[in-house]
């Protein structure tokens, strides 16, 4: 069967949905309209995104929320099973699964991923995350050594690749994984493996992506930093004679007018920010989000591009404004060398239609998106 995964398609700047499998999406807020992650709504959203021409859907792997009133990410659909179901309900999009490498043995991942690749006829994508929150791993009784996360990730990937070679049974006695009589059947439709992505921001995550991934999914909080990040990533990958696409994540607030969009952003992400949930994130990450960029003197009337509020998800670039404003910033991302991005909304189903109707045509006029019917 000939396979063409949309992530390798002609679309110049690729766009996908992120975190719609989780309650709260990427908004650390208490507003009542926040995303509830109901299955029927996820199905409706995915079909809307596919019909509207988006390339992919990318779920977050999550086992525990951040507490606070919202308990953002507290309810989440497991990503292999979520992917298998969406694969059966769609025909064009790439369906990513996000895998915590310390929690899923490669033998299990190889079979699950191949299963979804067959269901989707070659449209599955693997997003590898090495994880950061020991609280989540505690649910499994697994301790992750933060200093060896990427070493473990590399061994995980190498073992997966060996299984996907499809050769005779073998044994594996590594530092992190072991097994006897190892093989997998069926092999994935995409050969030698499904497309891969990995998510992270550190230099170690870039080195890992250089060896394992077709795409690095990262957080470009300040767009001015994008060219150097992309340059670093391309040079890491170049050492292995590979090319790699760089994607970032955004949160979209698009309304008829800039004023409306700015006011809503301020309302949900500053006035109704879930500060306890953000504190949990900061405590677990061992970071303090810079307050100069997070609220403080910022208000809906003087927010500068890229500035965020307390309840903005860390690392998600805020695309806020009228359709012209949002399109302008996306075009700028493309000019800076990014290959694509993810989008998220406070309420995906309420807000995606306007993005598709009003922003995508502007990106088509700018030549960074092909109209749906024009994609070969």
Ligand X SMILES: Cc1cc2nc3c(=O)[nH]c(=O)nc-3n(C[C@H](O)[C@H](O)[C@H](O)COP(=O)(O)O)c2cc1C
315 to 354: interface string for ligand X, x by CB under 6 A: x---------------------------------------
Centre a 10 Å sphere on the Cβ of residue 122 and count the other Cβ atoms it contains: 18
Are 6 and 93 spatial neighbours (Cβ–Cβ below 8 Å)? yes
Q: How far is the CB of 98 from ligand X (least distance, A)?
A: 4
| Identity of the residue, 189 or 277, whose beta carbon is nearer to ligand X in the bound complex | 277
The SS3 of residue 281 is helix
Tokens of 313: 């998800």
Residue 129 interacting with ligand X (CB under 6 A): yes
Which span (198-206, 266-274, 295-303, 356-364) binds ligand X, by CB under 6 A?
A: 198-206
Q: How far is the CB of 87 from ligand X (least distance, A)?
A: 19
Q: How far is the CB of 215 from ligand X (least distance, A)?
A: 11
Range 229-238, long-range pairs (CB < 8 A, 24+ positions): 230/336, 230/337, 230/338, 232/203, 232/206, 233/206, 233/209, 236/206, 236/207, 236/209, 236/210, 237/209, 237/210
Residue 249 interacting with ligand X (CB under 6 A): yes
Which span (47-55, 83-91, 128-136, 296-304) binds ligand X, by CB under 6 A?
A: 128-136
φ, ψ of residue 294 to 5 degrees: the values are: -120, 85
Are 343 and 55 spatial neighbours (Cβ–Cβ below 8 Å)? no
| Identity of the residue, 135 or 256, whose beta carbon is nearer to ligand X in the bound complex | 135
277 to 316: interface string for ligand X, x by CB under 6 A: --------------------------------------x-
Residue 94 interacting with ligand X (CB under 6 A): no
Total residues in contact with ligand X, by rule CB under 6 A: 20
Q: Which of 43, 47, 89, 201 binds ligand X (CB under 6 A)?
A: 201
Strand partners, 182: 170
Which span (1-9, 44-52, 54-62, 88-96) binds ligand X, by CB under 6 A?
A: 54-62
Q: How far is the CB of 338 from ligand X (least distance, A)?
A: 12
Q: Which of 60, 95, 226, 246 binds ligand X (CB under 6 A)?
A: 60
Nearest to 130 by CA among 161, 95, 159, 98: 98
Q: Which of 110, 130, 197, 308 binds ligand X (CB under 6 A)?
A: 130
| Identity of the residue, 156 or 266, whose beta carbon is nearer to ligand X in the bound complex | 156
Residue 61 interacting with ligand X (CB under 6 A): yes
Which span (124-132, 170-178, 225-233, 365-373) binds ligand X, by CB under 6 A?
A: 124-132
Q: Which helix (H) or strand (E) holds 43?
A: helix 39-52
Q: What angle do helix axes 203-212 and 226-239 make, rounded to 10 degrees? A: 50
Residue 131 interacting with ligand X (CB under 6 A): yes
Q: How far is the CB of 146 from ligand X (least distance, A)?
A: 9
- Which of the 8 DSSP states describes residue 60? P
Residues 6+ apart with CB under 8 A from 262: 300, 301, 303, 320, 321
Q: How far is the CB of 33 from ligand X (least distance, A)?
A: 23
Nearest to 277 by CA among 60, 59, 65: 65
- Give residue for tokens 């006035």: 271
Instruction: Give the CA distances from residue 266 to residues 29, 181, 186, 275, in Å, rounded to whole numbers and listed in that order.
Output: 11, 57, 50, 14
202 to 241: interface string for ligand X, x by CB under 6 A: x-xx-----------xxx----------------------
Nearest to 49 by CA among 374, 316, 349: 349
Omega prior to 310 cis, within 30 of 0:
no
Residue 75 interacting with ligand X (CB under 6 A): no
Q: What is the length of the chain?
A: 376
Q: How far is the CB of 292 from ligand X (least distance, A)?
A: 21
| Identity of the residue, 17 or 272, whose beta carbon is nearer to ligand X in the bound complex | 17
Could you list the residues that contact ligand X (CB under 6 A)?
60-62, 98, 100, 129-132, 199-202, 204-205, 217-219, 249, 315
């Amino acid at each position: 069967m000939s396979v063409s995964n949309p992530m390798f398609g002609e679309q110049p700047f690729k766009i996908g949905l992120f975190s719609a499998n989780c309650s709260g999406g990427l908004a650390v807020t208490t507003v009542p309209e926040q995303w509830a992650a109901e299955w029927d709504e996820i199905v409706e959203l995915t079909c809307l995104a596919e019909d509207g021409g988006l390339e992919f859907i990318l779920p977050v792997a999550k086992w525990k929320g951040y507490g606070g009133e919202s308990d953002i990410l507290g309810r989440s659909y497991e990503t292999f099973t979520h992917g298998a179901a969406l694969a059966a309900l769609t025909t064009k999009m790439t369906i990513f699964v996000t895998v915590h490498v310390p929690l899923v043995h490669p033998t299990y991942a190889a079979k699950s991923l191949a299963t979804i690749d067959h269901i989707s006829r070659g449209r599955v994508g693997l997003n590898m995350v090495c994880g950061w929150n020991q609280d989540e791993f505690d649910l499994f009784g697994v301790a992750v050594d933060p200093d060896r996360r990427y070493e473990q990730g590399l061994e995980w990937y190498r073992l997966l690749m060996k299984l996907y070679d499809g050769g005779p049974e073998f044994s594996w006695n590594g530092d992190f994984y072991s097994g006897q009589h190892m093989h997998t059947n069926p092999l994935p439709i995409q050969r030698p493996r499904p497309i891969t992505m990995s998510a992270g921001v550190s230099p170690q995550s870039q080195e890992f992506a250089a060896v394992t991934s077709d795409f690095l999914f990262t957080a470009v909080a300040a767009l001015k930093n994008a060219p150097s990040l992309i340059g670093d990533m391309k040079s890491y990958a170049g050492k292995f004679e590979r090319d790699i696409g760089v994607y970032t994540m955004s949160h979209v607030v698009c309304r008829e007018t800039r004023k409306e969009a700015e006011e809503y952003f301020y309302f949900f992400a500053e006035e109704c920010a879930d500060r306890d949930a953000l504190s949990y994130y900061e405590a677990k990450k061992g970071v303090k989000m810079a307050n100069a960029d997070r609220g403080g003197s910022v208000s809906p009337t003087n927010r500068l591009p890229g500035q965020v509020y307390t309840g903005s998800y860390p690392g998600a670039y805020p695309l806020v404004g009228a359709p012209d404003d949002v399109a302008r910033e996306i075009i700028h991302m493309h000019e800076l060398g990014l290959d694509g991005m993810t989008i998220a909304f406070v309420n995906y189903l309420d807000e995606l239609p306007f993005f598709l109707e009003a922003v995508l045509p502007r990106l088509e006029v700018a030549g960074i998106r092909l109209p749906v019917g024009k994609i070969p």
